[in-house]
Chain A
Amino acid sequence: NAGVTQTPKFQVLKTGQSMTLQCAQDMNHEYMSWYRQDPGMGLRLIHYSVGAGITDQGEVPNGYNVSRSTTEDFPLRLLSAAPSQTSVYFCASSPGIGRYEQYFGPGTRLTVT
């Protein structure tokens, strides 16, 4: 199993550009989530999904969109990139919420200039 994969590993965007961060898992997990990690602030939940076709907002959803058309994939879209979105983004999956271990991808380092 590859586990949780994320692409790209690094990305530089100009302000106003849009892009999609890809996340895929091959463990048949129902729950998937996106976090951003900023220095001194830990990981903050952006969006999550409890199954295909179901998504919801986390702590910091503004400026991001998600969709979940399949169990395996959970892309994160930046609609109009801003310098405040410079961060490291992690995707995670787990069999469920709360009492389940989350498996994290290797992260995408995004810089917006």
Chain B
Amino acid sequence: LAKTTQPISMDSYEGQEVNITCSHNNIATNDYITWYQQFPSQGPRFIIQGYKTKVTNEVASLFIPADRKSSTLSLPRVSLSDTAVYYCLVGYNNNDMRFGAGTRLTVKP
């Protein structure tokens, strides 16, 4: 059964690095892993996407081990404005896209 699992919540302080891990044991061979950020009363917004190894953009890094059964979103030096819910999205069997339940990140001053 396809299932995407991530921690319910995390706390951090401004300036720290935050790592959020998502487990996806049944990921399909050709599917990508995508992370989204969501603020209250808004739709999710794309952060980063990867297939394997490491991907980095201007806001985050994504680490994917060789077996691809998990992935880790890394947010460097978080600020108060990074307080949001973060979702990983994994494709299972091509069209069966499964979001995790979301990780609520709270950044404290």
Contacts and interface: CB of A to CB of B under 8 A. Distances in A.
Interface of A: 4, 33, 35, 40-45, 48, 50, 56, 58-59, 90, 92, 97-99, 101-107
B95 A104 contact: no
Given A98-B30, A99-B32, A101-B49, A59 B98 contact: yes
19 contacts: A40-B8, A42-B99, A43-B87, A45-B97, A48-B95, A56-B95, A58-B97, A90-B43, A92-B43, A97-B94, A97-B95, A97-B97, A98-B97, A99-B51, A101-B49, A104-B43, A104-B44, A104-B45, A106-B41
Interface in B14-71: 30-32, 34, 36, 41-46, 49, 51
Nearest to B90: A98
Contacts of B91: 97-98
- List the 10 closest A-B pairs by CB distance, nearest first: A104-B43, A42-B101, A101-B46, A42-B99, A43-B99, A98-B91, A99-B32, A42-B102, A104-B44, A90-B43
